[in-house]
Structure 1
Amino acid sequence: MTVKKILIVKPSALGDIIHTIPIVNAIKQNYDAEISWVVSRPFMNLLEHTPVVDKVFVFERKKWGGMRFFRYFGEILNFLLKIRAEKFDIVIDFQGLLRSGIITLLSGCKHRVGFKSAREFAYWGYSQKVETPKNVVHAIDRYKLIAKTLGVCEIKMSFPLNRDLALEQKWDNVLPSDYIVIVPGARWSSKRWPPEKFAELTNIIHRKSELPVVIVGSPSEKEISLQVINNVQKTDKCINTTGETSLIELAYIIKRANIVVTNDSGPMHLAAALNTKTIALFGPTDPERIRPYGDEHVVLQGESLCQCYYQKTCSFDLECLRTISPQKIIPLLGL
């Protein structure tokens, strides 16, 4: 079968999209096919700056969700009709949820691929269901199974991005030549190493070296970053970019960094994908499943057992994360 057009259904989240890009890149190269991608609006910027993706279909999750489905039914129908009009040769659902399964089913494509273990009955939308052995744990290794099913066995873990000279010049004027990035935020509050711990780490870095610290995060994490800044002694050696960057700008800042210290978050996966050494702090989530991919990265977990396993909020004052001391991180920074 000649494959000219492939649709990827992976609307969110940032870390999951980052995991998927190298796999899709290998599939694209193998088939020499045009790649389209269904993605939620907050993550569109990243896909627009990678040569892996030729066309983006924006899934307006916030706008169309819940009872608003009926209000925007015309828009949703138009979205689906545009997908069907492309006449895709293969549609791959990497998301494995009800909404992604429906999009896959209604794409009009005969060859629809997804995981047999997909949740919310999403697997009903697939013509080809991929088994997931119990010993395959990490998300990237699971995604590789889909590629293997399509005849793509050799996958180079590259994360290609298009250069943006204007963007590079903008941040070259702001960033020092060497710096450490810290990521104090995370979508779940239970994943966040306390801001005062990040501040303590920053103070030790400044006492031991001349390295500035660059703080990154989304607009919703500005308060968290301010809590860090307010406890830092040498604020002139901190650059706070929280809420000031697009995803592609965040990627550039992380790619240039000496090292990244981060909670379990989207930027953690971005740092690993960009081959920037990453020190990841884990609390309620399982690093075997979602650790930064690659042997050069380091995972730190608390000494006490997490009692809020995979819960978005913590009822125990982040007990497990608090046992990770800044002193444990300093040697890993080479200071």
Structure 2
Amino acid sequence: MNVLIARPDGIGDLVLALPVAAQLRELIPGVHIGLLASPVAAPLLDHHPDVDYVRAVSLQAPVRDLVKTLSGEIDAVIFLKPFRRLMWAAWLARVPIRVATGFRWQSVLANRWINEHRSGFARHESEYNVGMVKGLGLTPIEASRPRLVVTDSERAQGDRQWGGKAGRRVIIHPGGVSARRWKPEHYRDLANLLARQGYPVILTGSEAERVQFQREVLDGVSLDEGIRNVMGRLSVRELMGLIATSQVVVSGATGPAHMAAALAVPNVSLFDPRRNNLPTRWKPLGRGVLLRPDVPTCEICVGEACSYWDCMDRLTVSNVSMQVAQVIQSTAPLSILHL
């Protein structure tokens, strides 16, 4: 059976789709497993033992390109998120089995439905995802922790990025657009503080994030000599190799946090208090600590109109640096702290 798992959007979303591939490998003898990913995220899947092939496509591609991507002896496609144009393309491509959630108008384009609301945020995204295999007549088993694979050469290349500095290596990733961010100046000050304390620090991010970070907090400001800034200079695979050779990754609720967890590297993750960013649903599935302001959960961020508009500033540079030190020395599972 040839099954395609569709999640062509964010890096973190794709990482949390991997337990579905593990389920299929376990439950269907001889299954051929594909993953439909965005062009940016697709390289994450290289060398993965549960993924036989990868198809990359942009959700903004013309429908004819989407149809072509979903054609070619695919027996079933599982839509982990019901993207309308993608489901329309699968219908046009006549994929025999099309599994999706119910309750949406585009659900009519599927022919197997999982009638479960995710809006309650009662479970982790990976658990919701593995539940989708019920659309193939399977009984889900416990979701495994996502894992990613780096080669020895990628790990060696990542190791060279540290310039021979060993131990207590910290990656700081100030970017991320899907969640309310910790202020860029806090990330800068954290990097400087950790470097003064003797930690080797590397800043990572995309080219767009590099430009924004430079403009907002680095123009006219010097970084400590113990900090290396590689924002905008690494491919996804190179970032994976770098993360694999670090001791902790500090970031917001963004893709590299899930990458780190899948590479068995601890996190210090900074989550905002919005309901659609609840740790119950989106926490990295690994070791470390998740920091969240000790304020009421809100539906949306309304900025200064909110009584707690400064919520993320409650996560101070000093507190985050202390958590970095503790996480490096700990082997405990991820914990959640409200500060």
User: Structure 1 length normalisation: TM-score?
Assistant: 0.82
Does the CA-based 8 Å contact 1:217-1:242 persist in structure 2? yes
Distance of 2:229 and 2:236 partners within structure 1: 16
Asked if residue 151 in structure 1 is aligned to residue 139 in structure 2, the reply is: yes
Q: Give 1:331's aligned residue.
A: 322
Instruction: Tell whether 2:197 aligns with 1:197.
Output: no
Amino acid at match of 1:253: L
Mapped partners of 1:83, 1:90: distance in 2: 10
How far, CA to CA, are the matches of 2:18 and 2:32 in structure 1?
Answer: 14
Name the CA distance, whole Å, in 2 between partners of 1:82 and 1:223. Answer: 33
Query: Quick one: which amino acid aligns to residue 333 of structure 1?
Result: V
Output aligned runs, 1:218-237, within 5 Å.
218-226=206-214, 227=216, 235-237=224-226
Partner AA of 1:56 in structure 2? V
Instruction: Tell me the percent identity.
Output: 23
CA distance in 2, matches of 1:214, 1:78: 39
1:302 aligned onto 2:300: no
Query: Kindly tell me: are residues 84 and 47 of structure 1, through their superposed partners in 2, closer, same or farther at Cα, counting changes over 3 Å?
Result: same
- How far does residue 293 in structure 1 lie from its aligned partner after superposition? 2.4
CA RMSD for the aligned pairs? 2.8
CA contact (8 A) 1:229 1:235 kept: no
The 8 Å contact of residues 184 and 224 in structure 1, kept in 2 or not, is answered as no
Q: Does 1:282 align with 2:271?
A: yes
TM-aligned CA deviation for residue 94 of structure 1 = 0.7
1:113 paired with 2:103, answer no
Is the 2:114–2:134 contact (alpha carbons within 8 Å) kept by the matching residues of 1?
Answer: no
What's 1:40 paired with? 38
Please give the residue correspondences for 1:12-31 in structure 2 after superposition, counting only pairs within 5 Å: 12-31=9-28
2:55 corresponds to which letter in structure 1? F
Unpaired segments ≥5 residues, structure 2: 327-339
1:135/1:8 CA distance change after superposition, 3 Å: closer
User: Any residues of structure 2 matched to 1:7-86 within 5 Å, and which?
Assistant: 7-31=4-28, 32-62=30-60, 64=61, 69=62, 76-77=63-64, 79-81=66-68, 83-86=70-73
Q: What is the match of residue 73 of structure 1?
A: none
Q: TM-score, normalized by length of structure 2? A: 0.81
Unaligned 5+ residue runs, structure 1? 70-75
Secondary structure of 1:156's aligned partner: coil
Of residues 115, 122, 132 in structure 2, which corresponds to 1:136?
Answer: 122
* 8 Å Cα contact 1:84/1:106 also seen in 2: no
Aligned equivalents of 2:184, 2:293: Cα separation in 1: 16
| In structure 2, distance between residues paired with 1:92 and 1:196 | 41
Aligned counterpart for 1:180 among listed residues 145, 170, 184: 170
1:161 counterpart SS class: coil
Aligned equivalents of 2:296, 2:26: Cα separation in 1: 44
Q: Are the counterparts in 1 of residues 157 and 242 from structure 2 also a CA contact under 8 Å?
A: no
